[in-house]
A and B are shown apart, each in its own frame.
Chain A
Amino acid sequence: MPARLLTALRLRRPADLPLRFKGLSIIALPLLVLVVSVALSVRVTDQENAYQASTRTALSTSTDVGQTLVSLLNAETGVRGYVATGDPSFLQPWQWAQAKLGLQLRSLASSPAVTAAQRRALARPAATEMALLRSLMRAPRGAGTLVSLRLRRLLVKGKAVMDQLRRTVSVVQEGVQRFLSQRREKVRGLRSTALAIAVAGLSVGLIGVLILYLFMSRIVQRVEAARVNAHRLGIGESLIEVPVSGDEIGRLSAELTHASGLLASRGADLVRAHRAALSTAREKDRFLSELAHEMRTPLTAIAGFGQLLDASDALTSEDAESATLIVRAANHLITLTDEIDASAEGEETLALNREPTRVIDVGEEVCALMGSIAAEKHVSLRLEVDPVVMVWADPQRLSQVLINLVSNAVKYNRVGGEVRIGARPGVTDRVRVFVSDTGIGIRAEVQPRVFAPHDRLDAEAGPVPGTGIGLALSRTYVEAMGGSIGLDSTEGQGPTFWVELPGSEAVVAV
């Protein structure tokens, strides 16, 4: 996996790198600078603390040196005064010095600011001086004025030792001062380094944020372009050009372009198929109407001769029955050719004459026309329409539609059944006119095909006259009037066919 990744990374242009690598590297850069500057500043603070500690030590060493010098001076002065005068009060400073000096010298010798050689130089004269001072205390003295030779020698020697010690201490003091000033310089240097690092870190961080912002807005821009393209794809418009790139968004855009190409070619195929289907349908309609026309001539002869036979008195009763059957079969064929003609006619543009139409008027006309057919089958027609219900429709066409629906409702009804014609308000200013019957109902799987032309649902349900184009024609009429037609049915229960049309304000009769 890492090897593959590396090869992948090496082979690609930056634009083709996956987004997660781009994003990671853009975030990693300022983060790295930030980490480095924090580490450096921690280190600087540490060093500064260390320098400050050693500076404090040097300062206290310097104080120690001063105090040691004072003690030495006090002790020496006290001893000399005592030797010269014999006054024991001069011994008090010596005693103080003796109490403190050992401690002070040890402290001085232990200071890190003092070099080993200096330490040795300090230890030796200090011990010698103490021994000398003790000897001075014990040396014989006169009654105030006479100083023995030995005492004088001791004093001279003591003077030499003191001078050496003082020099050594001064050297130490100078060293400490030098050390202090060096430390001060270093701390100052460290502080400016820390500041420079902080400034550099801040500026790199800011630049990083800026790059990140540009990167993000570029991504947002490209995603937005992809979204726009997806939208255009959805509404079937051509896509806008986007720069080619191999990352995730680039691939998304490429897929969209690909999909758009496919869609375009499918669309062209569909248009071609649609045109072909339309032309086939027109061809079929021409053929059908031609066929209907050609059928009419022989049908006229069959029906005519049949009626002549049927009207004859010279036939046996069996022959008379045959003649009646010929006439009935011919009439069935005539119905079929009429419907075929109506179908071909339905394909032509409909001339509509729409006006405010009272549903009950149309309903009454339909009931009057269908009454005898319904009575033949002992089906009762019930008209349940409020006289105020008006629709915006062509009354002629609405009547044709209702005749068709009622005719079906009677045709597919059981003997002694019922057909109801009703109307009620539909959604948003529309009126729903419905025709329901007590027939066998329509199976759910065939319901969507009910309004398709040339689809008889009852092929297995028994012979019922009709070509099955009536509903398709009704749909054409209703849709031409700006309405819709539909069906609610549960198999086993009679279906309810409905027509929804724009409602109309009642016109007040003058």
Chain B
Amino acid sequence: MCGLCGIFGETSHWSTQGVTGGTSRRQRLFRLQAINRVLGLIHYTIRDFSGTDYVVSSPTGNQCMVKEIGQLWQNVETMRGRPLDPLDASLMRACGRRCREQYQ
């Protein structure tokens, strides 16, 4: 548990293992922002649930609860019917477009 914010440490996924030295709550918020930047490209969203879980929502209103980041992509794949592939050309184009918009 984080002594400062009272959140239980996230499970053992490698990406949540204290590399940055910030508090769990702060890192969790940054993580949510980073995931939302990617999920936003396919009009999905993710939000925090009680500081312990995540809720993923599809554009049609489907929702599912995700316990940890390790399960996220599998759940998104199940909801969507195909994996979210960072090597997919259209996804990269969409991400590039968003980057350009941010800099304009």
Q: Do A and B bind each other?
A: no
